[in-house]
A and B are shown apart, each in its own frame.
Chain A
Amino acid sequence: MSQSYYDPKDLKKFGDIAEFEPELAEKFFSYYGSVFAEGELTAREKALIALAVAHAVQCPYCIDAYTETSLEKGANEAQMMEAVHVACAIRGGASLVHGVQMMNKAKKIGM
């Protein structure tokens, strides 16, 4: 067993989750494939969204995978960093907007 929770080699083994439960895995990967197919959003737009979400959920596998996919879908480094800032802004904003709740409560119980 590896002495680390995350091993880059494990990314390639993602499909192996079917070993313990094939039916749901098949459904998931089929759905996953459909999600990333070119639709109203381009494959590049979807890759950049995935990259931003990967940073929000802080998944190192997803960050590796979607950095490479973003480049291979024709995104550039600045676009990718802007996507990460979008994730950051939403995460930060999500904390900060709760400040309104705090203010509401503070004003209610304060004088």
Chain B
Amino acid sequence: MKVSSLKSRSHKLMDPAEQISILNTYSPVMCTLPRFGQLLEQSGLFPLKPSGIDIFQMNLGYMCNMTCRHCHVDAGPDRKEMMSRENLEHCIHAIDQIDAKTVDLTGGAPEMHPDFRWFVSQISKSGREIIVRSNLTILVTNPKYRSFPDFFKEHKLNVTCSLPFYNKFTTDKQRGVGTYDRSVEALKVLNEKGFGIEGTGLKLNLVYNPAGAFLPADQKALEADFKNNLRRKHGIEFNELFTITNLPISRYLEYLLESENLDTYMQKLVEAYNPSAAANVMCRNTLSISWDGKLYDCDFNQMLEIPVDAADSAHIRDFNPELLMKRSVRINQHCFGCTAGAGSSCGGATT
């Protein structure tokens, strides 16, 4: 099935207010499900307070060479939003200010940002982890991007890649025809450069999202399956597998609605609410910066345009870590995605 961005189709779901309304009132089930805040309250976590800014996560833009069916960003080749040089400079300043230990670069395809190399060179330093969230295919699609693995190596980036399964059928169903073969090709290149190979110190992690309306498998068990199968089938090595639950927003929300899975999926998330996962949600130690410099509690709130609850530090140019530490995390019904089962974050399971 050919997928295009919601925006390119002027689909009503491109409006975050519409998405939030669906999550709260779409059906009798959605109206009667407990509210996320109620369960947080029962867990003694309301209002949800930050624990620090350990992960400085920047969304460099929504442009992507791919158009995956489950994309919560609604990314695609038609998306032109890109972080300006000015906002990148504000980010450099903020990263210096807090001496960020982890900078997490996402998109879209972050490699497609024309200032990607410049920016990484500016913030790269010993002891700082820089994560690049790569879709893999970009590294082998266009000759222009084939030199990126060498650049990643030069700056010892932690390469964290999407691969929903160790087979073609499931991978291509979620991410488009041909994705699996190109991902395998890219993983082999990354292995050749030393990523994922023991002793090199070069990290290659994989991200698993369920290709459908169900929860991810146990992270450790699935990691073992991925390792055995990728090694056996292709001789591919990697470090860790992160399981991420799909949050019911954007194109994944469209899929849930079209497949009539929304009610049961939301019920499943709510029934699987785990207080330990709630205590460890990533929004407590992450700050998300959008292409236009606005600050959010996480990438999902960014897509729903729910800004940080800190009016005087709501843009990267006004970055004030003290004010941000005093804020409460903004929540809504989509947050159930991060607290279901073993929990979910950009770094995988949280329990």
Binds B, one of A13-21, A67-75, A89-97: A67-75
Write out, one digit per residue, whether chain A residues 56-82 have a CB within 8 A of any chain B CB (1) or not (0).
000000000000100111101110000
Distance in angstroms between the alpha carbons of A107 and B190 in the assembled complex = 67
Decide if B214 touches A72 in the complex (CB within 8 Å). Answer: yes
Decide if A42 touches B221 in the complex (CB within 8 Å). Answer: yes
- Interface check A88, CB cutoff 8 A: no
- Interface check A55, CB cutoff 8 A: no
Decide if B217 touches A74 in the complex (CB within 8 Å). Answer: yes
* Interface SS of B by simple majority: loop
- Which of A42, A68, A76 makes the CB contact (< 8 A) with B167? A76
Residues of B near A72 (CB, < 8 A) are: 210, 214-217
- Which of B169, B210, B218, B225 makes the CB contact (< 8 A) with A71? B210
Instruction: Knowing A43-B218, A73-B221 are in contact, say whether A78-B210 is a contact too (CB < 8 A).
Output: no
Residues of A near B77 (CB, < 8 A) are: none
Distance in angstroms between the alpha carbons of A68 and B264 in the assembled complex = 12
Residues of A near B214 (CB, < 8 A) are: 68, 71-72
Residues of A near B222 (CB, < 8 A) are: 74
- Interface check B170, CB cutoff 8 A: yes
* Interface SS of A by simple majority: helix
Residues of B near A43 (CB, < 8 A) are: 218, 221
Q: By the criterion of a CB under 8 Å from any partner CB, how many residues of chain B are at the interface?
A: 14
Distance in angstroms between the alpha carbons of A44 and B224 in the assembled complex = 12
Decide if B218 touches A78 in the complex (CB within 8 Å). Answer: no
CB distance from B219 to the nearest CB of A (A): 10
A-B pair number, CB within 8 angstroms: 31
Residues of A near B215 (CB, < 8 A) are: 72
Closest to B208 in A: A74
Distance in angstroms between the alpha carbons of A72 and B221 in the assembled complex = 11
Decide if B221 touches A78 in the complex (CB within 8 Å). Answer: no
Decide if B170 touches A77 in the complex (CB within 8 Å). Answer: yes
Decide if A78 touches B169 in the complex (CB within 8 Å). Answer: yes
- Interface check B165, CB cutoff 8 A: yes
Distance in angstroms between the alpha carbons of A74 and B165 in the assembled complex = 9
Decide if B218 touches A73 in the complex (CB within 8 Å). Answer: yes
B215-234 interface (Cβ within 8 A of A): 215-218, 221-222, 225
CB distance from B306 to the nearest CB of A (A): 29
- Interface check B212, CB cutoff 8 A: yes
Decide if B221 touches A44 in the complex (CB within 8 Å). Answer: yes
Residues of B near A78 (CB, < 8 A) are: 167, 169
- Which of A74, A76, A77 makes the CB contact (< 8 A) with B218? A74
Distance in angstroms between the alpha carbons of A73 and B224 in the assembled complex = 12
Closest to A67 in B: B214
Among A42, A74, A77, chain B packs the most CB atoms within 10 A around the CB of A74
- Which of B165, B169, B217 makes the CB contact (< 8 A) with A44? B217
Closest to B341 in A: A72
Distance in angstroms between the alpha carbons of A42 and B218 in the assembled complex = 11
30 contacts between A and B (CB under 8 A): A42-B221, A43-B218, A43-B221, A44-B217, A44-B221, A44-B225, A68-B214, A71-B210, A71-B212, A71-B214, A72-B210, A72-B214, A72-B215, A72-B216, A72-B217, A73-B217, A73-B218, A73-B221, A74-B217, A74-B218, A74-B221, A74-B222, A74-B225, A76-B165, A76-B167, A76-B169, A76-B170, A77-B169, A78-B167, A78-B169
Q: Which residues of B contact A (CB under 8 A)?
A: 165, 167, 169-170, 210, 212, 214-218, 221-222, 225
Please give 16 more A-B residue pairs, beta carbons under 8 A apart, in addition to A72-B215, A77-B169: A43-B218, A44-B221, A44-B225, A68-B214, A71-B212, A71-B214, A72-B210, A72-B216, A72-B217, A74-B217, A74-B218, A74-B225, A76-B165, A76-B167, A76-B170, A78-B169
Q: 8 tightest CB-CB pairs across the interface, nearest first?
A: A74-B217, A74-B222, A71-B214, A72-B214, A73-B217, A72-B215, A76-B170, A74-B225
